Structure 1
Amino acid sequence: MSFTLAIVGRPNVGKSTLFNRLVGKKLALVDNQPGVTRDLREGEARLGDLRFTVIDTAGLEDTTDDSLQGRMRRLTERAVDMADVCLFMIDARAGITSIDMMFAEILRKRSAHVILAANKSEGSAADAGVLEAYNLGLGEPIRLSAEHGEGLNDLYSVLMPLADDFEEREQESAPETDVEVSEEPENDGAPVPTVAKPLQIAVVGRPNAGKSTLINRILGEDRLLTGPEPGITRDAISVATIWDNTPMRIFDTAGMRKKAKVQDKVEKLSVSDGLRAVKFAEVVVVLLDAAIPFEQQDLRIADLAEREGRAVVLAVNKWDVEEDKQGKLRALKEAFDRLLPQLRGAPLVTVSAKTGRGLDRLQDAILRAHDVWNRRVSTAKLNRWLSGMIEAHPPPAPQGRRIKLRYMTQAKTRPPGFVVMCSQPDKMPESYSRYLVNGLRDDFDMPGTPIRLTMRGQGDRNPYKGRKKSTPSRLRKHLDK
């Protein structure tokens, strides 16, 4: 029982609020100012026993040119064409406008199933707007309050027969097959991405670096809103795709400017949404502009991904307009090693989102970084390696007492985390920990990925340490006398 529902309407009628209500999460940005939503956002909705895909769209504008509003309208019209059902929302308190009348006529022509919903209809102030909605010619409007959750039962009653109809059509068109599906063998290495659990990738960077254009090139379609204006993307939009037989979910994030320059409330929400996407990603692609790479904000973004423990890939976009490619590449590698030593060995790939060149190298770098991020080393290999590292460079001896490294084991992956049992862990200098981390990168082929190394003391093995001395029973009797 699966179908697609697109929520459409003028700006600021409550589309994103209803979207969040249906998916049960605050996925879409919501604010009082109109025009917050620009891209198409999909989510898995639940309404009673109904399960369907809901699409949040940008507000419909009376513009058809190549301006930002015109491109947003074309994207919304595309959502109308691909959806099974369109939910046309109006603001019951504002009443019917000429734009509502125009778009109602468009929806009657482009969509087979249109449901009219009068939002913000709580209270008697909305009664006039609900009655006026009959003039749209789309049947009886559903009284909704997306903010308070009112009217969802009526929406369920309208969607239920449509869902049954879609289910019958799917059953009639589904081909009969007797092929048995065998389970895939377990993989001891990095988990293989599947459609159910795709590889999670977040594309981050400064505004106008080409993030949305790059993802559209990977998808092979204009799924995300793009243009020359910086800061077009606001929501962290996730799109599922299969990139050369590898299921992936790619998050397009808003451009991140310096914190001091972010004053607008919506931009603050956009940056927070992007930071949340980084936390949930497995691989973070930091997209740089070839004309101005490794600016201070680029370094902050890359360092953020490393501190969050994500696998990092650096991609330099707009490589097609670079003239001295070899000289520029040498300068990029030198700057990378100097400015981001914490990501030493991470992949650095040159791409062109406009032409598509370098995308095969980018995919290889993403898969390689994901594999390293999931790498596990046996305890026996680690302890043989640790003995060699101690012999080559013994640990320091603070106050004349040599720190003893007894043994080492890997505690976790994603990212790789190691624990070294030692004496005086609080006195281990940071320089020696970096020596061990760099050795792990080089000797176990783990370039670029964040490595967590923890020094832990074994404590005193004397079982009687800390216990009070007990008086022998015979001596206690003698003392009592």
Structure 2
Amino acid sequence: MKVAIAGRANVGKSTLFNRLVGKRLAIVDDTPGVTRDRREAEARLQDLSFTVVDTAGFEGADDGTLEHRMWSQMDRAMDEADVYLFVMDARAGVTPLDETLAADVRRRGKPIVLIANKAEGRLGDLASLEAYSLGLGDPIAFSAEHGEGLSDLRDALVEAFGEVVETVQDEEESAEGRPVSVAILGRPNVGKSTLLNQIIGEERMLTGPEAGLTRDSITVEFAHGGQNYRLVDTAGLRRRARVTEALEKASTGDTIRAMKYADAAIVVLDATMPFEKQDLTILDLVAREGRALVIAFNKWDLVPTPDESIRAAREAASRLIPQAAGVRVIPVSALSGRGVDKLMQTVKDAVERWDTRISTGRLNRWLEMATQRHAPPSVGGRRIKIRYMTQAKSRPPTFIAFCSRPDALPDSYKRYLINGLREQFDMPGIPIRLLLRKGDNPYAKD
């Protein structure tokens, strides 16, 4: 079952969403209109399991405005849902906006559970009586913040689910294995949400000329080329000094968490203003976290000299991001869809390389040739010996080299080894970690 939470702004929909999901996924703030895009998650309420959808608050708005685009996203969520949770503020009472939205919900002809939120304490039942005037059935006196009324909500959902006639269809899996999680990152207003919409082929995310539209990290399931993906659209990352409001700090924290839990990251750059300082900060953050990295050079249709610009971009990427040397730079147009298929194929290839496993035999044959070609330096009159190398793990590829004096090996030689690994074993753009350990002396006495 898919359950959509509907209501006007600031009645506690996101707090209810977090309560049903069991963790703080949606950003909550006293500011009205925090939620803009619809967000889905798996919810559990006692013995019930279902998908719950958080939506933007309903506000009257003219065509073409941000509020109207937010309502369009809410309208799509309502169309896809099986049951509605209609939330009103018991403290504020029924408002004209509540009545307008209630009339729209009634016309849709789907089961509705009416929740009178913020009805804490002994006066909660009295405060919720006014909700009867909406004509949506018996209201549940509820407190999303304190968890009061959950048993009544469970009983109402059981009744609502019973009214829905389900059609079960057998579907073949189009992809195997767990989904690949891909975070879409970048500065504000570089086209991240537009790119996600173009990838999945529908207007899933709220877009527009306004900077900072996306606040929550929104996850969308998607299949492409026989592989399941979990795409995560994120809020734009500004310089830390400019992030002052609590709401933007919450959005930034949400973005960082999405990146840390992703398998790969698509960093979107504005092709008309590429490699600004904040772009490099984001790219460095992804590389330090060890995620598979692909750069989407967006707004390519606005570049006057495409061939020259892409050559310069690829050279700049290798020079400015040495920890992910050879990272793929794909020119795309999020508006027209140009380059999107190539971008997703590049992401798939990057994740496969990020998951690379190299046998110990191949590693040590390469190590022998690499040290013969360029021997480790002498430090303090004593030459450092690298005896053995093995791969500790993948995702990202992590190698351990056993040497005589790990603390004395210069960083420049470590970079030589890492670049050699990347070139020899076909891992362009993949962050590689090399750990040094002191090798045991086989001639030492016990």
Partner of 1:329: 310
Partner of 1:160: 158
Q: 2:128 aligns to what SS in structure 1? A: helix
Query: Structure 1 residues 176 and 14 mapped into 2: Cα distance closer, same or farther (>3 Å)?
Result: closer
Partner of 1:99: 97
Could you tell me which of 280, 284, 308 is aligned with 2:261?
280
Partner of 2:383: 402
The number of residue pairs the alignment matches comes to 446
State the shift of 1:337 in Å. 2.4
Q: 2:9 aligns to what SS in structure 1? A: coil
Could you tell me which of 427, 431, 435 is aligned with 2:408?
427
State the shift of 1:394 in Å. 1.0
State the shift of 1:306 in Å. 0.4
Query: Structure 1 residues 441 and 175 mapped into 2: Cα distance closer, same or farther (>3 Å)?
Result: closer
Partner of 1:304: 285
Q: Which amino acid aligns with 1:23?
A: V
Q: Which amino acid aligns with 2:345?
A: D
Partner of 2:192: 211
Q: Deviations over 1:433-456 (max 9, x none)?
A: 111001101111111101010110
Query: Structure 1 residues 176 and 127 mapped into 2: Cα distance closer, same or farther (>3 Å)?
Result: closer
Q: Distance between the aligned counterparts of 2:368 and 2:54, measured in 1?
A: 58
Query: Structure 1 residues 193 and 381 mapped into 2: Cα distance closer, same or farther (>3 Å)?
Result: farther
Q: Distance between the aligned counterparts of 2:80 and 2:141, measured in 1?
A: 26
Partner of 1:472: none
Partner of 1:85: 83
State the shift of 1:222 in Å. 0.4
Partner of 1:251: 232
Q: Which amino acid aligns with 1:377?
A: I
Report the TM-score when normalising by structure 1: 0.90
State the shift of 1:123 in Å. 2.0
1:269 equivalenced with 2:253 (yes/no): no
Q: Which amino acid aligns with 2:158?
A: M
Q: 1:88 aligns to what SS in structure 2? A: strand
Q: 1:345 aligns to what SS in structure 2? A: coil
Could you tell me which of 34, 37, 42 is aligned with 1:36?
34
Partner of 1:369: 350
The equivalences for 1:41-120 within 5 A come to: 41-120=39-118
Q: Which amino acid aligns with 2:425?
A: F
State the shift of 1:244 in Å. 3.1
Q: Deviations over 1:49-72 (max 9, x none)?
A: 111000000000011421111111
Q: Distance between the aligned counterparts of 1:387 and 1:111, measured in 2?
A: 73
CA contact (8 A) 2:379 2:408 kept: yes
RMSD: 1.8
Partner of 1:232: 213
Q: Distance between the aligned counterparts of 2:45 and 2:122, measured in 1?
A: 26
CA contact (8 A) 1:96 1:129 kept: no
% same residue: 52
CA contact (8 A) 2:319 2:325 kept: no
Partner of 1:16: 14
Partner of 2:181: 200
Q: Distance between the aligned counterparts of 2:162 and 2:63, measured in 1?
A: 39
State the shift of 1:460 in Å. 4.7
Query: Structure 1 residues 140 and 175 mapped into 2: Cα distance closer, same or farther (>3 Å)?
Result: closer
State the shift of 1:32 in Å. 1.2
Query: Structure 1 residues 340 and 267 mapped into 2: Cα distance closer, same or farther (>3 Å)?
Result: same
Q: 2:380 aligns to what SS in structure 1? A: helix
1:318 equivalenced with 2:318 (yes/no): no
Query: Structure 1 residues 176 and 354 mapped into 2: Cα distance closer, same or farther (>3 Å)?
Result: closer
Query: Structure 1 residues 64 and 52 mapped into 2: Cα distance closer, same or farther (>3 Å)?
Result: farther
Q: 2:350 aligns to what SS in structure 1? A: helix
Bigger shift: residues 243-252 or 346-355: 243-252
Q: Distance between the aligned counterparts of 1:249 and 1:255, measured in 2?
A: 19
Q: Which amino acid aligns with 2:364?
A: N
Q: Which amino acid aligns with 1:319?
A: W
State the shift of 1:103 in Å. 1.0
State the shift of 1:104 in Å. 0.9
Q: Which amino acid aligns with 1:59?
A: G
Q: Distance between the aligned counterparts of 1:450 and 1:248, measured in 2?
A: 21
Query: Structure 1 residues 29 and 430 mapped into 2: Cα distance closer, same or farther (>3 Å)?
Result: same
Partner of 1:473: none
For structure 2, list consecutive stretches of 5 or more residues without a partner in the other structure. none
Report the TM-score when normalising by structure 2: 0.96
For structure 1, list consecutive stretches of 5 or more residues without a partner in the other structure. 185-191, 466-481
Structure with larger Rg: 1
Q: Distance between the aligned counterparts of 1:354 and 1:294, measured in 2?
A: 21
State the shift of 1:463 in Å. 6.8
Q: Distance between the aligned counterparts of 2:356 and 2:385, measured in 1?
A: 27
Query: Structure 1 residues 259 and 174 mapped into 2: Cα distance closer, same or farther (>3 Å)?
Result: closer
State the shift of 1:175 in Å. 6.0
Q: 1:54 aligns to what SS in structure 2? A: strand
State the shift of 1:462 in Å. 6.7
Q: Deviations over 1:214-273 (max 9, x none)?
A: 000111110110000000000000000112332111000000011111111111110110
CA contact (8 A) 2:124 2:141 kept: no
Q: Distance between the aligned counterparts of 1:111 and 1:119, measured in 2?
A: 23
Partner of 1:138: 136
Q: Distance between the aligned counterparts of 2:264 and 2:288, measured in 1?
A: 13
